[in-house]
Amino acid sequence: MRQNEIFADAFNYFVYNGEPVIAPESLTELDTRAIDVPYGGANGAGQPVQKTRDVIKSVTAMTDKKRAYLVLAIENQSHVHYAMAVRNMVYDALQYAAQVEKAIASHKRAGDYRGADRDEYLSGFMKGDRLMPVVTLVIYFDAKMWDGPLSVHEMFAEQDVKILSLVPDYKINLIAPAAMNDGEFGKFHTTLKEIFSFIKYSEDAEKLTEMVTHDERFLHLGRKEVDVLNACVNANLEMEEEEEECNVCKAIQTIADRAAEKERIDTLQNSIRNLMKTMGMTAGQSMRAIGVSENDRKILEKLL
């Protein structure tokens, strides 16, 4: 995700429906350590709080002949984080706090508080100062549906509607392959298309085979893409050191073989349990009765 082309592609999909509005060359990576310097100085509100984000970049764009700035961040998730809304809220708040502190520090260095009114002087943040918007995008690299809360309000127990209306909400911006339809994958212009579609159908050998058959780009995935798929959905894609591309067809066959093996073991397990229930046999007696092999016996003993 640190590659500007990939990073821009993710945000262009989510914000602009796949239109290439954010240019990769407009992105500049920032330090992922967001530090909130407590107001009141060293003897003020305690120790600084530090959180480390996955990837954070600034964007420079031209809008109505005025230069506009944004801060974009991506959080990569291989598992559902059930407090993600609060986690992201803290990250973004720390980024805003850091911007305020930098503004205050710049005024002190410039000595331009002269002429400022009392409120500006006391707050340190001038009336004309502005913050850069922070947008965080969560990318869920798993074939399962995201079943966690998508906002802070969803994390509350039942509350009085009037009270809840006074509590600011914070929502997650989420990309989850399992929730995407096939037409959406075509809105990506980098290998995110292949990665997300592979993840969505990683447990469906028939659908995966169909996609590979109709899109030859699946036959030429690079090493970075292979690493992502192996780590996130256990794709078992293999590449020799000297190879730069991987043929996904082999992976599909592996997935199909794995599914067939699981189905065979499940069938044996059900047969053994039926014998144990109806005939009063032990697990060992049941396995002997239906002629289970030694290798299968070792697998089934852990399941029964």
- Digit-coded pLDDT (tens) for 253-282: 666 677 788 889 999 999 999 999 898 999
Among the candidates 200, 221, 248, a domain finishes at 200
166 and 21 part of one domain: yes
- CA geometry: angle 207, 209, 213, nearest 5 deg: 120
Structure tokens at 110: 């410039």
Q: What is the mean pLDDT of residues 99-116?
A: 82
153 and 230 part of one domain: no
153 and 211 part of one domain: no
164 and 291 part of one domain: no
**Least confidently predicted of 53-62, 74-83, 178-187:** 53-62
160 and 15 part of one domain: yes
Residue range(s) defining the domain that contains residue 279: 202-304
25 and 138 part of one domain: yes
Kind and range of the H or E run holding 59: strand 55-63
* Residues near 214 by beta carbon (within 8 Å), at least 6 away in sequence: none
How many whole angstroms separate alpha carbon 304 and alpha carbon 301?
5
* Residues near 238 by beta carbon (within 8 Å), at least 6 away in sequence: 246, 250
Q: What is the mean pLDDT of residues 121-150?
A: 91
* pLDDT at residue number 36: 53
Is the pLDDT assigned to residue 83 strictly greater than 50? yes
Q: What is the mean pLDDT of residues 64-74?
A: 76
How many whole angstroms separate alpha carbon 30 and alpha carbon 164?
35
Structure tokens at 15: 């914000």
* pLDDT at residue number 49: 61
Structure tokens at 89: 């809220």
93 and 171 part of one domain: yes
Residue-averaged pLDDT of the chain: 85
Q: With the CA atoms of 153, 158, 159 and 161 taken in that order, what torsion angle do they form, in degrees rounded to the nearest 10?
A: 80
* pLDDT at residue number 68: 64
pTM summary value: 0.75
Count how many domains the chain has: 2
Is the pLDDT assigned to residue 41 strictly greater than 50? no
Is the pLDDT assigned to residue 13 strictly greater than 70? yes
The DSSP bridge partners found for residue 55 are 74
* pLDDT at residue number 40: 40
120 and 219 part of one domain: no
265 and 180 part of one domain: no
Is the pLDDT assigned to residue 23 strictly greater than 80? yes
pLDDT range class, residue 38, cuts 50, 70, 90: very low
User: Residue 292: exposed, middle, or buried by beta-carbon count in 10 A (0-12, 13-18, 19+)?
Assistant: buried
136 and 176 part of one domain: yes
Among the candidates 159, 181, 200, a domain finishes at 200
pLDDT range class, residue 130, cuts 50, 70, 90: confident
For residues 88 and 138, the answer to whether their CB atoms sit within 8 Å is yes
26 and 69 part of one domain: yes
149 and 236 part of one domain: no
Among the candidates 167, 200, 233, a domain finishes at 200
Radius of gyration (Cα) for the chain, nearest Å? 27
